[in-house]
Structure 1
């Protein structure tokens, strides 16, 4: 079976090996088609995605050559996948593919399932499902193509979904009383996305439950400063109320405490 990996450098792997993907144009063409599975993608849209407004005169021919290379790739020995094929449409191309062979699609399916489990009151199930979704990520989306200067909107969308899945995973962990385990990871994430209020909220709660009230308040002030500096906005009322609850030592903040071994 062939698997297509987008959550990191582009990879196409069979049970035996990773397949050679050719040069940047072929890899970018395949990457774009994988981000738009089972949809007709116009040749003009591919050209725009690969070159922007500076497409060379030979751009359409280069896309045709890339498509030919991708078709050869799909015919590699050991690369058989039921129903996977790259078809020519009247004005472009369509990659017919089982979504479960694409890591980005599997991530989205698992993240949605974990979110549903969390909403249904099953954090013990959600924490494992969401961890499985996050484990699919090896690096940023199509990191090898991003290094060449490609910045498709779908990159940022997937990264937003990754962050939301991480936040849901932390929510489940906090509901299970795992604040001690989560603090260090949350501190690192808060430093990476200093204006993300949900991350700040999780960090403040985890620190408070670990008996580190003053550090929880420092985390709030740090995020408030970042929000003012970057967006010219104060934190939302929810985050401000959390600060007051910490100052007042409200019992509801303690949540579930870890059970003794």
Structure 2
């Protein structure tokens, strides 16, 4: 037998024609079976079953007898031929009952196993297997869980929890699909989910990304405006930081929002200039007010090695801050004897900075032209 809870309660016989459903009896029997299936392969106490069947302490004096009759009739339904080797069994186990059924025969258990597999793949970065597994899990849903019993007045906390967990699984599926570049495929489902659940920020952010990738930037920003209005007016809260950062990324057209395959197919773009150890720019015509930082090495030794007059005074004897007053041009500053950074028998084509000494050339006379 195949048991389906993700939608109206259905039990399909394994020996009959495809699609043939088993008659489960009245409302009470179907409710008992549904609650035992929600706790499949676990012992459910009698008190739990009584609370599920009669809420708000409205159980009659014969409630236990009614429950026992429902269990007895269900055993007759589950034992109908043909009997499979590992068919379902409804057993009495203190302090209540146990419905033993293979996990693959219950759509809820199959769904939960696929979700575990998909989330493990998503956490490992295997987005395509995660998308497939999570999509297969969601495909098992045929509507709201146990929708027929809900219409008859059943209201169990387990059903609400299942519905909320389904929304989380849908968001995981959307995340995997967006990581695979399938934004157009999930866009209709994202729009439907956000319209039904306007306070779910994660889904709203995923919709903003999908719309942006489809070239609908204005609509993506409008989604942020709607979710912000819903949060502020409904709860007095601002959207979280992630949603605010996503809004700014859309406004600035951040490349990280592009389709992952397109980004991965080209080299990473440098959004900020890279500082490289290149040469310093040429000195300005007028010296700056602040003294220039000293260079690590003074390139004056080559000039001393080729000096025709035989003078070998090293250049590192120069004072680190030669111009005493930066506002005065270098040509008008007189250097004490023996401390001039440039030998008097040489001519310079630029100011006396260490970087331009290599352009000095020998000339006759004792002066040094600084222009």
Q: TM-score, normalised by structure 1?
A: 0.94
**Cα 1:79–1:205 shift into 2, 3 Å:** farther
Classify the secondary structure of the residue corresponding to 2:260. Answer: coil
1:257 shift after superposition: 5.1
Classify the secondary structure of the residue corresponding to 1:56. Answer: coil
**Cα 1:93–1:105 shift into 2, 3 Å:** same
Corresponding residue number in structure 2 for 1:20: 23
1:81 shift after superposition: 5.3
Contact 1:14–1:79, Cα closer than 8 Å, also in 2: no
**Cα 1:233–1:206 shift into 2, 3 Å:** same
CA distance in 2, matches of 1:33, 1:117: 31
**Which among 109, 130, 144 is matched to residue 113 of structure 2?**
109
CA distance in 2, matches of 1:5, 1:188: 25
**Which among 42, 47, 54 is matched to residue 44 of structure 1?**
47
What is the CA deviation profile of residues 201-232 of structure 1, one whole-angstrom value per residue up to 9, with x for unaligned ones? Answer: 10000001111111001101111112223332
CA distance in 2, matches of 1:173, 1:127: 6
Any residues of structure 2 matched to 1:220-259 within 5 Å, and which? 220-256=224-260
**Which among 181, 185, 193 is matched to residue 185 of structure 2?**
181
CA distance in 1, matches of 2:242, 2:52: 40
**Which among 138, 143, 155 is matched to residue 139 of structure 1?**
143
Classify the secondary structure of the residue corresponding to 1:9. Answer: coil
**Do structure 1's residue 190 and structure 2's residue 189 form an aligned pair?**
no
Corresponding residue number in structure 1 for 2:169: 165
CA distance in 2, matches of 1:77, 1:231: 56
Corresponding residue number in structure 2 for 1:68: 72
Corresponding residue number in structure 2 for 1:8: 7
Q: Which has the larger radius of gyration?
A: 2
Corresponding residue number in structure 1 for 2:88: 84
1:97 shift after superposition: 1.9
Structure 1 stretches of 4+ with a deviation exceeding 3 A read none
CA distance in 1, matches of 2:114, 2:240: 30
**Cα 1:210–1:176 shift into 2, 3 Å:** same
Structure 2 unaligned segments of length 5 or more: list them: 263-371
CA distance in 1, matches of 2:69, 2:188: 48
Structure 1 unaligned segments of length 5 or more: list them: none
What is the CA deviation profile of residues 4-27 of structure 1, one whole-angstrom value per residue up to 9, with x for unaligned ones? Answer: 111001111123221001111100
What RMSD in Å do the two structures reach over aligned CA positions? 1.6
What is the CA deviation profile of residues 92-126 of structure 1, one whole-angstrom value per residue up to 9, with x for unaligned ones? Answer: 11112222211111101101101111111211111
Classify the secondary structure of the residue corresponding to 2:249. Answer: helix
What is the CA deviation profile of residues 67-108 of structure 1, one whole-angstrom value per residue up to 9, with x for unaligned ones? Answer: 011101111113535152111123311112222211111101
Q: Relative contact order, CA 8 A, sep 6+: which one is greater?
A: 1
CA distance in 1, matches of 2:83, 2:197: 40
